[in-house]
Structure 1
Amino acid sequence: MPRVDVVQTAPAPARAAVRTVELAESTERTPASLRPWLTELGRIPLVRELSEPFAHIPHTATTIVLRAEAGGRREALVLGPRTRATYSVAKAPASCVRLRLAPGAANPMLGVAASELTDRVVRLADLPGPAGELADALGELPHEEILAFLEDELPQRLSENPTQRAHRGLLTEAAAALAEPSGRSIPAVAADLAVSERQLRNLFSAGIGLSPKHFARIGRVRQILAYAGDTPWSRIAADNGYYDQSHLTADFRTLMGVPPAKFFRGHLPAPTPCQAPA
């Protein structure tokens, strides 16, 4: 268990009304037949208010985004894992469905390693995997029909050899272990799974698009964002595997662009336009 130095007991500041994609999104688990490849479906209703920026916080999953603008334009995109937060203003009112890929599912679903998608936005139709072949149909379907369509189409198009299946299983176990708030070390996780640290790094790079260390850092920062404003910073640091409050602040600032106190007060970096597909 990491040593925790209690620096101060001041509570975190009250949360400001920072708009994040996660706050606008409702989520549901995917059906069991799709769960080896897709863990979650998120729905964001039509967003009409364009004056306030959205905070897109770091995320470890590769995500298929089916976006529908109020004017009728539709597109099917893939967002790779996001290593740092971005702050953007939407160009047009739009709604979307977000399909999050399971660890190790990028290659069988999209035909490329997850590392090729990190911090990128690409058109789904430009990717060579089975999901890319379905891009046009997915882009036109009513949102409520997407899961049923994928249940019919995806399983018969996907194929894995035993090695790929084993790697996906290892990744799922490792990701769950590193997501624990107690801060399990990477050597300990590798030892538990009977693989070397180098093998674990290679698995994460190909199957998730991040190093195990960065995967764990994103998980901790996302946990911090879930805290209410009346919890002392020292307690938040201890609960999430940080050595002390200074370690928490440095990690948060690196991934979010501002220290946690400023973020929770709504003092955010200047927004930029949404990233265009590569």
Structure 2
Amino acid sequence: MPNTTAWQSRSTPGVLRPWLAGVRTVSFAEPPEEAFVHLPDAVTKVVLRVTADGRRDVLAVGPRVRASYHEGKTSISCLELRLAPGTARPLLGVAAAGLVGRVVPLHELPGPAAVRLAREVRRLEPREALPRVAEVLPGLLSDAVDPARTALRAGVAALSVRLDRAPAQVRDVARELAVSERQLRNLFADGVGVSPKHYARIDRVRTVATRAGSARWSDLAAATGYFDQSHMTSDFRALMGVPPGSYFTGRLPAVTPCQVGRRA
């Protein structure tokens, strides 16, 4: 079974909730026995990473449109700040679409807030950095109401899988928000990094990967908005590299090294 549970969610400080969709940590004293899997993820992240040799990096990690598989590393610790939709440009100085598939040192991005944040947390241990982020980040970003960001977040919520409903259709979301589908695509490109359709596809596959075993495949397909089980299997194979049956029995693609600056 692939290792997808190493990340641990942490409570997001209230002052950071306008800008963060979540906070996670991971730490290995010894390399995990299973392959470490990065699921497809339509979220831009800021990651503080400390490796076994003491190297410290503060990285901007763009949306990942396909899964990647890696060997576990000995003694690595990370803090991951998951940016809320619409946070990439004000914090990083670039549209989220410009970071898709990329891992970039935070201080190399054009946003003054990114440079300042990198400087503030770079020498901290990941487990100690969140309080400092909570002190610094609100002063770097404006919390003024932005209608475009509000619409974007409503669109993301409507297209996401929930326990009590399947995701909405893109055309219905655009109509509900009183924008054209083209305008909705532009909002998503800037604030999420991928199109609304691609966002929904990634979210469904992530849900299947994390809920497998909780229901029959056909029921899971219906609950996540697929036409049928065949449609779910096709999407899963395209984004994960293998069909669901292979993935959950550990028959995975070849592992690759993690590299800063690469494009997926």
**Superposed pair shares fold, TM > 0.5:** yes
What is residue 8 of structure 1 aligned with on the other side?
A: none
Deviating runs (4+, > 4 A) in structure 1?
Answer: none
Q: Which amino acid aligns with 1:191?
A: R
Q: Which amino acid aligns with 1:93?
A: S
- Whether the 8 Å CA contact 2:2–2:34 is kept in 1: the answer is no
Matches of 1:69 and 1:123 in 2, distance apart? 15
| Alpha-carbon offset, residue 47 of structure 1 | 4.4
1:124 aligns to 2:106 (yes or no): yes
Secondary structure of 1:253's match? helix
- Whether the 8 Å CA contact 1:90–1:273 is kept in 2: the answer is no
Aligned match of 1:143 in 126, 129, 134?
Answer: 126
Pairs aligned (count): 258
- Whether the 8 Å CA contact 1:77–1:277 is kept in 2: the answer is no
What is residue 95 of structure 1 aligned with on the other side?
A: 77
| Alpha-carbon offset, residue 19 of structure 1 | 1.0
Q: Which amino acid aligns with 1:85?
A: A
| Alpha-carbon offset, residue 51 of structure 1 | 5.9
Say which is worse superposed, 206-215 or 146-155, in terms of deviation: 146-155
What is residue 192 of structure 2 aligned with on the other side?
A: 208
- Return the structure number with greater relative CO, CA threshold 8 A, min gap 6: 1
| Alpha-carbon offset, residue 52 of structure 1 | 3.9
Q: Any gaps of 5 or more consecutive residues in structure 2? A: none
- Whether the 8 Å CA contact 1:183–1:242 is kept in 2: the answer is no
1:195 aligns to 2:179 (yes or no): yes
1:249 aligns to 2:233 (yes or no): yes
| Alpha-carbon offset, residue 91 of structure 1 | 5.3
Deviations 1:54-100 (A, max 9, x none): 11110111011110113321111111010000111245531111000
Identity %: 48
Matches of 2:242 and 2:201 in 1, distance apart? 15
Structure 1 or 2, whichever has the larger Rg, is 1
What is residue 76 of structure 1 aligned with on the other side?
A: 58
Matches of 2:114 and 2:14 in 1, distance apart? 18
Matches of 1:46 and 1:230 in 2, distance apart? 28
